[in-house]
Amino acid sequence: MVRLVHPLAGVLALATIGLFWTATVSVELLGTTAQVAAVKGAIPWGFLVLIPALIVTGGSGSWLARGRRSGLLSTKQRRMKMIAANGLLVLVPSALWLAASAAQGRFDGLFVAVQALELAAGALNITLLSLNMRDGLRMTGRRPAKR
């Protein structure tokens, strides 16, 4: 069962972050300030899906690893630590601050700077989660190793 839950939770986490990132870029480029505020206000609610998905992904990955720490597994574990730190220290606080600022109609230079930081941190997490997915597929034999 864990072999099914782990990849599903990982895909859900990656898709959720991808949705946050894509919605933000789309609304910033094409939307009104009301639409920006709506997206910024919805993202913290998405944490109700994202955070449990990340916890299940990390927990099930640890269970599947069963104490092993070599090769791709070690690389995936290091990436997960970076993903967690980036989320807890940058992404969650940024999203909460941006939601509060957008709700108050404050779209000033600080809003733009924090939004840029959030987009960069989100892109980093998307990249790291994608690399973990690739390596997980390699570990299970569903994707051949690099030649």
Domain ranges of the chain: 2-140
Confidence (pTM) = 0.90
State the pLDDT at residue 146.
Answer: 65
The amino acid at residue 116 is A
Q: What is the mean pLDDT of the chain?
A: 93
pLDDT tens readout for residues 39-77: 999 999 999 999 999 999 999 998 988 877 778 889 999
pLDDT tens readout for residues 66-76: 877 778 889 99
pLDDT tens readout for residues 90-128: 999 999 999 999 999 999 999 999 999 999 999 999 999
Separation CA 6–CA 3 (nearest Å): 6
- CB distance 92 to 46 below 8 Å: no
- CB distance 134 to 143 below 8 Å: yes
